[in-house]
Amino acid sequence: MEKIKYKNKRVMAVVLAGITLVTSGCTLANNKVESKEESTIEESVIKTGVSIKIIDDVTREEIFGALLSIRDCYNEEICRWTNSVTGNDVIDLVEGNYKLTEIVSPEGYNVIDEPISFKVEPNQITDICIENKSKQNLVSITNVDIDTDQIIPGMVLSIFKGNKEIKKQVASNKPTNIRLDNGTYMVVAHDLLEEYYPQTVQFSVNDKISLSDFFSQIS
């Protein structure tokens, strides 16, 4: 474990943990539906049906781009659609037993192995939340004050691969979890309120579980 620390005034410390997990996820927000029988997706509240959401099993974030299918108890396909961030994740279904199948997974995620059985009750919405595993590594970034060792929320984190910025998000009061492929990256962290100095740290991600801590302070 490598630690780099320079003494000076109040600044930010960046802690990076590069961890490889075999995980994936996806989400069902229905915008395109192909159906053998007429299948309805309404923007209004549906009294009987199913609400489907697929998430990353570690970051808990929704992911999109899955091709999904629902079949009834007679194994007849009721509807098929690709979920998207702009879609509606509630499908109108009559009372009965069904099976949900992920035909194509979102990019970077593994396909769900087995169909998921569920039951729709009259005048109720059945909620389904599926946790999928990603093929990418998990990197956890924590911003802490060098003096107090307290997490600093509100830092803007920009992840670069080469000269291209591939991810940007604002850190909260918890570690920021990001999915990345194998490779060498650079994280640039800066404070919009300018209470902390900007920091730049280079790190590598590989298929082996690894943990690297980086502490730095600018004079």
pLDDT one-digit tens code per residue, 139-148: 888 888 888 8
Indicate the pLDDT class of residue 79, thresholds 50, 70 and 90.
very high
Q: Angle at CA 102, nearest 5°, toward 100 and 107?
A: 150
pLDDT over threshold 50, residue 96: yes
Cα 111 to Cα 26, 31, 44, 76, 150, distances in angstroms = 9, 20, 31, 21, 39
Q: pTM above the 0.75 mark?
A: no
Query: How far apart (Å, rounded) are the C-alpha atoms in residues 193 and 92?
Result: 47
As to burial, measured by CB atoms within 10 angstroms (0-12 exposed, 13-18 middle, 19+ buried), residue 76 is exposed
The percent of residues above 90 in pLDDT, for the chain, comes to: 30
The reply to whether 12-22+135-205 and 30-132 are identical in fold is: yes
The percent of residues above 70 in pLDDT, for the chain, comes to: 71
Amino acid (one-letter) located at 157? L
Q: Tell me the average pLDDT of the chain.
A: 74
CATH topology of domain 30-132: Immunoglobulin-like (2.60.40)
Domain definitions of the chain by residue range: 12-22+135-205, 30-132
Q: Output the pLDDT for position 131.
A: 87
Q: Output the pLDDT for position 196.
A: 86
Instruction: Give CATH superfamily name and number for 12-22+135-205.
Output: Macroglobulin (MG2) domain (2.60.40.1930)
Query: How far apart (Å, rounded) are the C-alpha atoms in residues 35 and 39?
Result: 6
Query: How far apart (Å, rounded) are the C-alpha atoms in residues 101 and 79?
Result: 11
